[in-house]
C-alpha cells in the first residue's frame, strides 16, 4: 500500500509538471499580444462554457486582439483541483469553480452554501452583483485567487434512485452525495440524511453500484451528467443556490496592465447576463428531457425543509464575519 501511494504521488506530481509546461509554453501570442489560458471541466454545450466563449470573444473585441483567451473545456488541462493548484502558482490564468470549493480557502464563502439563504432568484442576483458579491470575489486574494464574476448555477435539489424525497423524513437512512463542503455536510445532516462527499467524476459509478442512494444538484447538471438514467425521482426542494465563480490567478492578474485588467473585467461582467439567460433556457430544457426519460418530478413543500435547517443559522452566531454576511444578505431588498 505504501509503494502504491508513493507511485500515485509521483504520478500526480508528474501530471502537474506536464500541465505546467503545457500552460506556461503558451502564455503569450507570437504577435506580441497576451494570451490567457482558461480551463474547466464542463462540456462544450454547458451554459457556463458558452458564456466563457462569449467572454473570450468580447475580450478580443475590446482589446482589438491584444488580449485573447484560449479555452480548454472538458478537463483537458486537469481536474478542478489541479486547475486551482495551477492557477495559484500562476501557471493557469482562469478557471471556474463552485463557490462551495472556495470555502476551503476562506470561511467567507460558507455563507453562499447556506440553505434557503435567498428569497428568490432576483434577490440572489442583487446580492451577487452588489457590494457583498464584490467583497466575496476579493476575499480569496490571500490565497492567490481573485474572483472575476459569479455565474448562475441554479438551485440544488435531491434526486434519488428508489424513492422520492417529499419531506425531510424521507432522507432518513439515505446516503446522499455532497460536494466536499462543510456547509453541504451540515445541511444534509440537519435534514436527516447521511452526507457522503464524493468527487463529481465518481458519482455516476457510485449511483450505479449503490455506494450512494442519491445526490443533489441543479437540473442541467442532473441532465448532462446522465444521472437521470439511474435516479428516477427528482424532488425540487431547491435547498441551496450556490453560484459558480470565475476565478483568475492573482499572479496573472497583477501581471496585467490596468488597461488589460479593464478589458478582461469588462468582458467577464458582460458574460454574466449571457450565462443567466442560457442557464434559464437550459433548466427548462433539462426538466423536459429528464421527464421524457421517465423521471418523476416532484414539487415538495419547501417550508418542511427550511424549518429543519434553522439551527444551522443559529450556529453561525459564533462566527461574527459569516453571521454579519447573513444579516446583510437578508437585508438586501
Residue 284's contacts (CB-CB under 8 Å, 6 or more residues apart) are none
* DSSP run (H or E) holding 201: helix 200-209
pLDDT beyond 60 at 117: yes
Strand order in the sheet with 34-39: 67-72, 34-39, 94-98, 244-249, 145-151
Q: What is the pLDDT of residue 182?
A: 87
Give the residue-averaged pLDDT of 263-272.
98
Q: What is the pLDDT of residue 319?
A: 92
Give the residue-averaged pLDDT of 162-189.
95
Residue 293's contacts (CB-CB under 8 Å, 6 or more residues apart) are 228, 229
Q: What is the pLDDT of residue 199?
A: 86
* DSSP run (H or E) holding 71: strand 67-72
Residue 173's contacts (CB-CB under 8 Å, 6 or more residues apart) are 194
Q: What angle do CA 59, 51, 219 make, to 5 degrees?
A: 165
Please tell me the CATH superfamily of domain 2-105+120-152+243-283, with its number: Bacterial extracellular solute-binding protein, family 7 (3.40.190.170)
Q: What is the pLDDT of residue 81?
A: 85
Q: What angle do CA 235, 240, 242 make, to 5 degrees?
A: 130
Domain boundaries, the chain: 2-105+120-152+243-283, 156-241+287-331
* Mean pLDDT for all residues in the chain: 91
pLDDT beyond 80 at 28: no
Q: What is the pLDDT of residue 201?
A: 82
- Per-residue pLDDT band for 35 (boundaries 50, 70, 90) equals very high
Residue 136, number of CB atoms within 10 A of its CB: 23
- Please report the sign of the dihedral spanned by the C-alpha atoms of residue 200, residue 107, residue 95, residue 15: negative
| pTM assigned to the model | 0.86
Contact 142, 333 (CB under 8 A): no
Of the ranges 20-29, 36-45, 167-176, which one carries the lowest mean pLDDT score? 20-29
pLDDT 10s digits, 49-94:
999 999 999 999 999 999 999 999 999 999 888 999 999 999 999 9
pLDDT 10s digits, 201-247:
899 999 999 999 999 999 999 998 999 999 999 999 999 999 999 99
Q: What is the pLDDT of residue 39?
A: 97
Q: How far apart are CA 195 and CA 156, in angstroms?
A: 15
- Per-residue pLDDT band for 31 (boundaries 50, 70, 90) equals low
Q: Hey, what's the cell of 155? A: 438551485
Residue 133's contacts (CB-CB under 8 Å, 6 or more residues apart) are 127, 150
Pairing of strands 233-240, 156-160: antiparallel
**Of residues 159 and 26, more confidently modeled:** 159
Q: What is the pLDDT of residue 231?
A: 98
**Of residues 14 and 261, more confidently modeled:** 261
DSSP per position, 123-143: HHHHHHHSHHHHHHHHTTGGG
Position of cell 464584490?
134
Q: How far apart are CA 286 and CA 218, in angstroms?
A: 10
Residue 223's contacts (CB-CB under 8 Å, 6 or more residues apart) are 285, 286, 289, 290
Contact 137, 235 (CB under 8 A): no
Same topology between domain 2-105+120-152+243-283 and domain 156-241+287-331: yes
Q: What is the pLDDT of residue 4?
A: 34
pLDDT beyond 70 at 1: no
3-state secondary structure of 321: helix
Contact 34, 68 (CB under 8 A): yes
CA distances from 28 to 23, 204, 279 (A): 10, 38, 32
Q: What is the pLDDT of residue 14?
A: 44
Domain 156-241+287-331 = CATH 3.40.190.170: yes
Q: What is the pLDDT of residue 200?
A: 85
Of all residues in the chain, what percent are helix, strand and coil, respectively (each to 5)? 55, 20, 30
Amino acid at each position: 500500500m505504501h509503494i502504491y501511494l508513493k507511485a500515485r504521488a509521483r504520478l500526480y506530481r508528474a501530471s502537474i509538471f506536464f500541465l505546467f509546461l503545457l500552460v506556461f509554453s503558451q502564455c503569450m501570442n507570437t504577435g506580441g499580444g497576451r494570451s490567457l489560458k482558461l480551463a474547466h471541466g464542463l462540456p462544450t454545450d454547458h451554459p457556463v462554457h458558452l458564456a466563457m466563449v462569449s467572454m473570450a470573444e468580447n475580450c478580443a473585441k475590446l482589446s482589438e486582439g491584444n488580449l485573447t483567451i484560449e479555452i480548454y473545456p472538458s478537463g483537458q488541462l486537469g481536474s478542478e483541483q489541479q486547475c486551482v493548484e495551477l492557477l495559484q502558482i500562476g501557471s493557469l490564468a482562469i478557471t471556474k469553480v463552485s463557490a462551495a470549493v472556495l470555502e476551503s480557502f476562506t470561511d467567507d464563502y460558507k455563507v453562499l452554501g447556506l440553505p434557503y439563504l435567498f428569497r428568490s432568484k432576483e434577490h440572489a442576483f442583487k446580492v451577487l452583483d452588489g457590494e457583498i458579491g464584490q467583497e466575496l470575489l476579493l476575499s480569496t486574494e490571500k490565497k492567490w485567487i481573485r474572483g472575476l464574476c459569479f455565474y448562475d448555477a441554479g438551485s440544488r435539489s435531491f434526486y434519488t434512485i428508489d424513492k422520492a424525497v417529499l419531506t425531510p423524513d424521507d432522507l432518513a437512512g439515505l446516503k446522499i452525495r455532497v460536494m466536499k463542503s462543510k456547509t453541504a455536510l451540515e445541511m444534509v445532516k440537519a435534514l436527516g440524511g447521511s452526507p457522503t462527499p464524493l468527487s463529481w467524476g465518481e458519482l455516476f459509478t457510485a449511483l450505479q453500484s449503490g455506494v450512494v442512494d442519491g445526490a443533489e444538484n441543479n437540473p442541467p447538471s442532473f441532465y448532462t451528467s446522465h444521472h437521470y438514467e439511474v435516479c428516477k425521482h427528482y424532488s425540487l426542494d431547491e435547498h441551496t443556490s450556490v453560484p459558480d465563480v470565475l476565478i483568475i490567478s492573482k499572479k496573472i492578474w497583477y501581471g496585467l496592465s490596468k488597461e488589460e485588467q479593464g478589458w478582461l473585467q469588462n468582458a467577464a461582467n458582460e458574460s454574466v447576463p449571457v450565462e443567466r439567460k442560457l442557464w434559464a433556457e437550459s433548466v427548462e430544457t433539462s426538466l423536459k428531457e429528464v421527464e421524457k426519460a421517465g423521471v418523476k418530478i416532484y414539487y415538495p413543500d419547501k417550508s418542511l425543509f427550511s424549518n429543519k435547517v434553522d439551527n444551522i443559522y443559529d450556529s453561525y452566531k459564533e462566527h461574527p464575519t459569516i453571521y454579519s454576511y447573513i444579516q446583510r444578505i437578508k437585508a438586501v431588498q
